[in-house]
Structure 1
Amino acid sequence: MVSRVVFGRGSFNQLGDIIEPKRVNTTAPFIFLVDDVFKGNPLITSRLPLAYNDQLVFVSTKEEPKTSQVDEMVEQIILNHKDRPSGIIGIGGGTIMDLAKAVAIMLTNEGEAKDYQGWDIVKNAAIYHVGVPTISGTGAEVSRTTILTGPQRKLGINSDFTPFDQVILDPELTVGVPKEQWFYTGMDCFVHCIESLKGTYLNAFSQSYGEKALELCQEIFLEDTLSDEDSQDQLMMASWHGGMSIAYSQVGVAHAMSYGLGYLLGIKHGIGNCIVFEHLEEYYPEGVAMYKAMRKKHNIFIPQGICSNLGDDEFDIMIDVALSLEPLWENAIGKNWKQIITRDKLKALYQKM
């Protein structure tokens, strides 16, 4: 679990006070990885507690994070600074959260990021790292994974060293998120809840978080009782609770198949989950019906026909990626999932998308 959390409007102003005691020395900088959408935006940039040799790096989030991108960042940090950084501060959406966690890990572990894609491969603790989400839904601020697209697969660095040491949850930072992005990322949280609560890995701990997150999602996306500020606060809490739920259980069919779309077609995670979830009535009938009611209420467009021109080889690539995520399938279907989830079944589902 994340050991330290601050929540509240304006809490981003506490960042300097929070990180300064963690400064190793004046030549060991804090590296701020910030979504480049905030370049020139005083909401973030004028409030960053930069000092000494601290470095601000704006990062494009047009594409999903890659293992090669992590390796390049780590190399540049090592080349540009005499001392190992005091910490990594990630400020942005799920992409930035994952990059910050991965960079913090790779500064203390040899090799390349792709070598650590999987479960519990990391040997050395990451350097101090802080997450400041500016959009709610991914749960990346709380999860023990960092989802990366590697040369052969899309898979997280799942380890006890991955979670942030500190998270700052300031709902004010989510103001101005475009409506469709708000929905896609919010649905990532919603799907977390459905897949956790309907999974075979479910336990009392994950269930308590998943049920609360689902309750919040229903209030946010189906009811008209919340002010804008309350909705922002609630979605940030839903994201946290949804992330906690899957941290102690697992996700399922939608995420496994979404990773295939992301690896081959570069479809971003939130919208990828929506594209897949449209066709999963067989596995999550109540959840899919609720999702479609949310989509209709908010008049959100979901891309159609993205797989219509793919060849057999391309379908095979997506299927291989999806099937490699064995814990997700076991959670969704059970230990006998390999007898139920066939390549033909997955291909037929992808062909609907």
Structure 2
Amino acid sequence: MSFKNFKVVPKMIFGRGSFAQLDEVLAEERKQANDFVVFLVDDVHKDKPLADRVPVKPQDKLIWVNVDDEPSTKQVDELTLEVQAHSDSLAVSVVGIGGGSAMDLAKAVALMLTNEGGSAKYQGWDLIENPAVHHIGIPTLSGTGAEASRTTVLCGPERKLGMNSDYTVFDQIIMDPELIKDAPTDQWFYTGMDCYIHCIESLEGTYLNEFSKAYGEKSLALCRQVYLDDHPESDDKLMMASFMGGMSIAYSQVGACHALSYGLSYVLGYHHGIGNCIAFDVLDEFYPEGVKEFRQMMEKHNITLPKGICKDLPDETIAKMVKVAKSLGPLWHNVYGDGWEEKVTDQLLTDLYRRI
């Protein structure tokens, strides 16, 4: 038997006010006077105080990225071309500041600056050929685990699928809880539930082991303190829950909810966080205790999910979502184990989508 030999983030800073150390971190990468850094920053921060704190030098490239839609291979390729047009030399670092989407875009651009052929070519597992440009992740929303994971999830020409690679992992992350304190309640909830659902899927999956269990159980406990107990240090706890949730699935896998959510995102355009919530709410038979607790969290924070969104959709639309969900073999293997192909039928997935 061989065990997964995966890469983790080699350098990380955690603490309130630690964003101020970004310039110092980047100084280690700038060797020559004309060395430049690319900043990809969620455009929600464009007119906010954070905008003035980004340590941009005259030679750097600052791009405000719009993540109203899920990140796509088309968007990554356009951003890559924009960076390449900025200079004939290679950036010394790519910095992603924002939620999971902004961080995923930074990972993807860092990869595509050193790998030719367009990002859709690399959707899958371990297809990246060359190491990425140095890249840094700084979350301003917590829950996706993007800061810890080895994937960057993109909507491509055929499906929604990550570029899963050891080269995808950030070289540095800065986790400053002060950056997430003003997140809108709905985004705070949906993104945090991504973390909660990661943990439920990991802890109840066939890939469970003591490594993923240790991170998953602690992350789950932190989520409960944030979403059920209103802990006074909830921002710090959610930030750590997100990181640990990402670590938990590094040695295991997500499950049925994420598979269904990918179909919702790819075909109907739902953002990953709310897509997970919508899907999780119909998965009582898969995760009964988790779904019950999730509904308690929704009630406590006055969250109302869209209902009946797939009930009357044309059969061909449902079939597209089924195709996306069914293609995610490792996720279903984590749900059912060997022989999952016999259980994950088009009819099962159609019935689940029709409940949404």
> Normalization by structure 1: what TM-score?
0.97
Count of residue pairs the alignment pairs up: 349
Q: 28, 32, 39: which is aligned to 2:39?
A: 32
Q: Does the aligned pair in 2 maintain the 1:206–1:246 contact within 8 Å?
A: yes
Choose which of 311, 323, 326 in structure 1 pairs with 2:326.
323
The CA deviation at 1:308 is 2.6
| Equivalent in the alignment of 1:95 | 101
- The SS at the match of 2:161 is strand
- C-alpha deviation, 1:33, in angstroms: 0.4
Letter paired with 1:96: A
**3-state SS, counterpart of residue 22 of structure 1:** coil
Are 1:194 and 2:197 matched, yes or no? Answer: no
What secondary structure does 1:142 align onto?
coil
1:306 match: 309
Question: Could you say which residue in structure 2 is the equivalent of 1:339?
Answer: 342
Q: Which residue of 1 aligns with 2:270?
A: 267
- The DSSP-based 3-state class of the residue aligned with 1:89 is strand
Q: Matches of 1:219 and 1:41 in 2, distance apart?
A: 29
- 2:284 is matched with which residue? 281
SS at match of 2:28: helix
3-state SS of the aligned residue for 1:161? helix
Identity over aligned residues, as a percent? Answer: 54
- Which residue identity lines up with residue 298 of structure 2 in the other structure? R
Amino acid in structure 1 at the alignment position of 2:344: I
Alignment of 1:1-353 (within 5 A): 1-42=8-49, 44-224=50-230, 226-227=231-232, 230-353=233-356
| Contact 1:26-1:52 within 8 A present in 2 as well | no
Deviation string 1:79-101 (CA, Å, 9 cap, x unpaired) is 12121111100000010010000
1:92 is aligned with what amino acid?
G
CA offsets per residue over residues 22-62 of structure 1, 9 Å max, x none? 124233310000010111212x2221111141111101110
Letter in 2 for 1:240: F
Give the letter for the 1:233 counterpart: D
| Distance (whole Å) between structure 2 residues aligned to residue 168 and residue 37 of structure 1 | 19
User: In structure 1, what residue type is equivalent to 2:101?
Assistant: T
Could you list the runs of 5+ residues in structure 2 that have no partner in the other structure? 1-7
Of the structure 1 ranges 263-272 and 47-56, higher mean CA displacement relative to structure 2 is found in 47-56
Counterpart CA distance in 2 for 1:142 and 1:323 is 26
Provide Cα deviations, 1:238-276, integer angstroms capped at 9, x if missing partner. Answer: 000000001111000000010000000000000000000
Q: Following the alignment from structure 2 to structure 1, what is the Cα–Cα distance between the partners of residues 31 and 84?
A: 16
Task: Report the Cα distance in structure 1 between the residues aligned to 2:149 and 2:289, rounded to whole angstroms.
Answer: 26
Task: Tell me if structure 1 keeps the 8 A contact 2:61–2:86.
Answer: no
Distance 1:223-1:83 versus aligned 2 partners, 3 A rule: same
Taking only aligned residues, the RMSD between alpha carbons, in angstroms, comes to 0.9
Distance 1:25 1:86 in 2: 10
Q: Which deviations, in whole Å up to 9, do the C-alpha atoms of 1:326-351 show, x marking residues without a partner?
A: 00000111111111111111101101
- Structure 1: stretches of 5+ with no match in the other structure: none
Separation in 2, partners of 1:48, 1:313: 46
Asked if 2 retains the 8 angstrom alpha-carbon contact of 1:27 and 1:83, the reply is: no
Please state whether the residue corresponding to 1:151 is helix, strand or coil: coil
Query: SS of 1:58's equivalent?
Result: strand
Secondary structure at the counterpart of residue 138 of structure 2: strand
Amino acid at match of 1:339: E
Structure 1 residue identity aligned to 2:222: L
